[in-house]
Copies of this chain bind each other. A is one copy, B any other.
């Protein structure tokens, strides 16, 4: 490690104002959004262009320090802050905020890695197009971070995750070389899908600096439906009917305990009487009015008339969605949740959802589990309040249960440091060896985000 003079070298690249050494200033870059992970950065560097990112990585490589790339720092698995086991530079992409014109013919837009989702949405608004991925951290989450973690959100069931939106990408590799494919060509079978490989690589293979993103037409008609149901099996029945409709865009599930908590703390409640085991929130979007088709499907699926709310106007729809969005906020107020984001085969969901609270209590008797999720994808968020941040016995128990049921230990949050030790629950030794071979090929010295994905280095 030859870190003497690194700050000066970086200042020459990005300007002295963008090399942050003051501990108070650094602090916001050192603690992640969940407050479970914190580290100490050697310094924070804020380049303003791909060329500056490349020069920054060269300087860090020469100094022998590791690099943690950081977007909006809204990750939930500790992948965007230093670990503290080696001197790390935090490379913030927050200044790469350029936005290209909205190309309405190709339905695409180019964006710097540091553009927030909210800024992208505002930029696209009024064009007749919209960006397909949406999530509640939109004010802070950046498109670069969302690509690096292959973010999901509420529309994956119809439009795919972040990787599906990326039609072009630019990234700097550990070698300091820039790979770039910003042509926006939807079909381009010229070798390996390096863009897709970098999406979801969690900062371990390269630093994403720019993206060309697919946009989708804004639909003229939207409908939100909230329905209270006895339990998960009934919810899956309704879902099976509803997903025959092409217009189904989101299918969220919430359970009684979480809904009660939101009600107590915010006053936001479903617009019907309690007595349900879970609540399903569906959103439909189409060129035409699909109210009749949706009503027919819901009736056919046996939805109860007295626990059903339908909203068409934006404000009415927002009211239904508020319950879902408040759930995340409220749980974060109650405590520092262990956020276990898992996918299960749809058929395995009822047994898992019915048993998870008891499983959690069997490990940590005082813990509370709040569960919600993107039921359309089989993706549940299990939020456990109670155990200390460093106590991961509950995490282990839940993830092992998920694995035994054929599920995945991460649906959309990624592995980060939070789940690195459990990667083997979902991926085989051969899979992990293949991934590590790719890691070693593109980052031989292991300078990019060490500790993320592969616990303790080589598998």
Chain B residues, CB < 8 A from A150: 189, 193
- A157 to B423 Cα, complex, angstroms: 35
- Beta-carbon contacts of A133-153 to B below 8 Å, as 1s and 0s? 000000000000000011010
Assess whether B293 is in contact with A428, with CB atoms less than 8 Å apart: no
With A189-B149, A377-B187 in contact, do A180 and B440 touch (Cβ < 8 Å)? Answer: no
Chain B CB within 10 Å, residue with most, of A184, A190, A293, A423: A190
Assess whether A186 is in contact with B105, with CB atoms less than 8 Å apart: no
Assess whether A430 is in contact with B173, with CB atoms less than 8 Å apart: yes
- A352 to B373 Cα, complex, angstroms: 48
Assess whether A196 is in contact with B193, with CB atoms less than 8 Å apart: yes
Assess whether B428 is in contact with A179, with CB atoms less than 8 Å apart: yes
Chain B CB within 10 Å, residue with most, of A173, A181, A438: A438
The verdict on A313 contacting chain B, using a C-beta distance below 8 Å, is: no
Q: Name the contact of A434 in the complex, choosing from B177, B407, B430 (C-beta under 8 A).
A: B177
Nearest chain B CB to A422 CB, angstrom units: 9
Stretch at the interface among A82-90, A328-336, A409-417: A409-417
Chain B residues, CB < 8 A from A192: 197, 200-201, 205, 435, 438-439
Number of residues in A with C-beta < 8 Å to the partner? 87
Assess whether A379 is in contact with B287, with CB atoms less than 8 Å apart: no
Chain A's interface: helix, strand, loop or mixed, by majority? loop
Nearest chain B CB to A95 CB, angstrom units: 23
Assess whether B442 is in contact with A190, with CB atoms less than 8 Å apart: no
Assess whether A187 is in contact with B378, with CB atoms less than 8 Å apart: yes
Assess whether A345 is in contact with B415, with CB atoms less than 8 Å apart: no
- A129 to B390 Cα, complex, angstroms: 46
- A243 to B160 Cα, complex, angstroms: 19
Nearest chain B CB to A141 CB, angstrom units: 15
4 additional A-B pairs beyond A156-B187, A188-B343, A193-B200, beta carbons within 8 Å, are: A105-B347, A183-B406, A187-B411, A187-B412
